């Protein structure tokens, strides 16, 4: 199949969160299965063009209608690991940050319009748009006669971000303004429009696919999603297991594997040194990596942190996000020097050293479509403690509930006491030391969270989408 991806962030070129990991590694897995994959992403200004040998001037440019005028778009491209990647270049789209500008909705509408313009010469079999930034690609493709044979697939990586904006944006890219029932007057909701129009909709874990049909997790779109239930797929994300591989990771001090885990102790000591923690081999070291936003359970983390540290644990945190949460962590870090190490910012290489050097990894999310942090942790033998929600519930099984299959610790209610109980159980098992902990770590490391199984499910889904398109 000829498959076209469109996403705002794609690893390794531009990354803010898990969307980049998926849009970077799933195409490679599909290419390995024999499919032809092209990935579109904006040429963000922060993107390192030299490092990835992205041509400075593109061979292909197009004049794309945008509002009353036209935008001149360039399409420099490269081929890497069997995947063709096309960068959409225009001053209005490319900025230092991937998101966070008042005109994000317009930037990404132009991105979608530019992708459609580039597809019509050689229409693909599948147009696969990811999250709200690429969402308008779906109704745009549906209205483009030359693309009428292409099946459209929309993947929800996070339903909470819908790109709600003024209806003006529709006019800019030539879409009709007719309102969806859930849109307010003069509002456009790109994500809702993709959900309404795509041949198939998917999301990134089986559990989240069920959750989003309920008012609790549906973010106001649960009614629409229930209507499209028959076309909604849940496919759990994989990770790039050759990139995230403790046996080959160039970012870590000592390499290790399930068969020989001795290097992990060195990585722990190095991490303690690097982040200014006391170098104590026996102190349980907990890692946190992620966006510091309400979704990630920062309230629970900051509530239990003092108790956890009083219990002899250490905490290493890497993240960036809402200023109030950053301030809260700064406060705690100042009070608990040597036990709590805080790095505010985005640092992919430090992230690998935390995954490798920590003993346990914390993700007490309020909701979690899939979550990749726990999958990467498992790969590095770092035992996850998570709230059993969304993809965390799909991928982490409590060792106290199921000793044979357990790979971590989990709790259900979004309450500090429930989180503390899971942590207490984790500490107890960690301190029992010796065989049971090593056995748990070995089992975690041996699990297969590669794309192998999930990429095949995506191919099945594409076939279903193509069938739906033919029927339409």
Instruction: Write out the residues near ligand ADP by the rule CB under 6 A.
Output: 17-19, 21, 289-291, 318-320, 346-348, 351, 370-373
Q: CB within 8 A of 269, min separation 6: which ones? A: 279, 281, 357
Q: CB within 8 A of 465, min separation 6: which ones? A: 126, 151, 152, 153, 199, 200
Question: Between 317 and 427, whose beta carbon lies closer to ligand ADP?
Answer: 317
Instruction: Report in angstroms how near the CB of residue 348 gets to ligand ADP at its nearest.
Output: 5
Q: CB within 8 A of 401, min separation 6: which ones? A: none
Question: Between 4 and 395, whose beta carbon lies closer to ligand ADP?
Answer: 395
Instruction: Report in angstroms how near the CB of residue 291 gets to ligand ADP at its nearest.
Output: 5
Instruction: Report in angstroms how near the CB of residue 238 gets to ligand ADP at its nearest.
Output: 12
Question: Between 21 and 267, whose beta carbon lies closer to ligand ADP?
Answer: 21
| Contact yes or no for 389/367 (Cβ under 8 A) | yes
Instruction: Report in angstroms how near the CB of residue 273 gets to ligand ADP at its nearest.
Output: 19
Question: Between 319 and 381, whose beta carbon lies closer to ligand ADP?
Answer: 319
Tokens at residue 225, please? 């999603």
Q: CB within 8 A of 433, min separation 6: which ones? A: none
Give me Rg for the CA atoms of the chain.
Answer: 23
Phi, psi angle pair for 154, to nearest 5° = -120, 125
**CA 71: distance to chain centroid?**
30
Instruction: Report in angstroms how near the CB of residue 252 gets to ligand ADP at its nearest.
Output: 14
Question: Between 199 and 240, whose beta carbon lies closer to ligand ADP?
Answer: 240
Q: CB within 8 A of 181, min separation 6: which ones? A: none
Distances in whole angstroms, Cα of residue 37 to Cα of each of 30, 278, 285, 429 = 7, 48, 41, 45
Question: Between 141 and 285, whose beta carbon lies closer to ligand ADP?
Answer: 285
Query: Concatenated DSSP letters for 5-69?
Result: EE-S-BTTTB-SSHHHHHHHHHHHHHHHTT-EEEEEEE--TTS-TTTTT--SS-S-EEEEEETTE
Instruction: Report in angstroms how near the CB of residue 186 gets to ligand ADP at its nearest.
Output: 30
What does the DSSP 8-state code read for residue 89? B
Question: Between 19 and 396, whose beta carbon lies closer to ligand ADP?
Answer: 19
Instruction: Report in angstroms how near the CB of residue 450 gets to ligand ADP at its nearest.
Output: 15
Residue of minimal Cβ distance to ligand ADP: 18
Question: Between 16 and 120, whose beta carbon lies closer to ligand ADP?
Answer: 16
Question: Between 124 and 371, whose beta carbon lies closer to ligand ADP?
Answer: 371
Query: How many other C-beta atoms can be found within 10 angstroms of the C-beta atom of residue 431?
Result: 12
As a whole number of angstroms, the distance between CA 241 and CA 239 comes to 6
């Amino acid at each position: 199949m000829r498959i076209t991806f469109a996403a705002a962030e794609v690893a390794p070129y531009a990354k803010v969160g898990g969307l980049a990991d998926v849009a970077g590694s799933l195409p490679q897995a599909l290419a390995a299965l024999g499919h032809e994959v092209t990935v579109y992403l904006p040429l963000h200004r922060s993107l390192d063009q030299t490092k990835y040998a992205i041509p400075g001037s593109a061979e292909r440019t197009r004049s794309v209608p945008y509002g009353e005028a036209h935008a001149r778009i360039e399409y420099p491209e490269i081929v890497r690991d069997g995947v063709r990647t096309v960068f959409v270049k225009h001053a209005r789209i490319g900025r230092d940050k991937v998101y966070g500008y008042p005109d994000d909705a317009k930037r990404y509408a132009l991105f979608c319009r530019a992708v459609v313009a580039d597809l019509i010469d050689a229409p693909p079999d599948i147009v696969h748009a990811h999250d709200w930034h690429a969402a308008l690609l779906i109704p745009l493709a549906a209205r483009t006669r030359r693309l009428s044979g292409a099946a459209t697939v929309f993947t929800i990586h996070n339903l909470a971000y819908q790109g709600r904006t003024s209806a003006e944006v529709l006019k800019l890219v030539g879409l009709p303004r007719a309102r969806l029932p859930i849109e307010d007057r003069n509002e456009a909701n790109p994500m809702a429009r993709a959900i309404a129009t795509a041949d198939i909709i998917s999301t990134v874990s089986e559990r989240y696919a069920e959750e989003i049909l309920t008012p609790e997790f549906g973010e106001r779109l649960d009614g629409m999603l229930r209507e499209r239930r028959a076309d909604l797929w849940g496919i759990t994300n994989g990770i790039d297991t050759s990139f995230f591989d403790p046996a080959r990771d160039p970012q870590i001090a000592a390499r290790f594997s399930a068969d020989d885990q001795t290097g992990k102790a060195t990585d722990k000591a190095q991490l303690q040194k690097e982040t200014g923690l006391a170098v104590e081999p026996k102190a349980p070291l907990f890692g946190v990596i992620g966006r510091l936003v309400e979704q990630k359970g920062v309230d629970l983390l900051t509530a239990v942190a003092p108790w956890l540290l009083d219990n002899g644990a250490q905490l290493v945190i890497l993240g960036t996000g809402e200023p109030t949460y950053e301030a809260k962590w700064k406060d705690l870090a100042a009070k608990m020097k040597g036990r709590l190490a805080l790095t505010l910012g985005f640092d992919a290489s430090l992230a690998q050293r935390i995954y490798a050097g920590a003993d346990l990894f914390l993700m007490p999310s309020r909701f979690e479509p899939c979550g990749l942090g726990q999958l990467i942790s498992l790969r590095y033998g770092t035992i996850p403690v998570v709230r059993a929600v969304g993809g965390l519930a799909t991928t982490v099984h409590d060792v106290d509930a199921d000793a044979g299959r357990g790979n971590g610790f989990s709790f259900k209610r979004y309450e500090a006491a429930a989180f503390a109980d899971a942590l207490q159980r984790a500490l107890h098992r960690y301190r029992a030391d010796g065989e049971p902990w090593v056995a748990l770590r070995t089992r975690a490391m041996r699990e297969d969270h590669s794309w192998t199984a999930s990429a095949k499910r995506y191919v099945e889904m594409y076939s279903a989408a193509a069938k739906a398109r033919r029927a339409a």
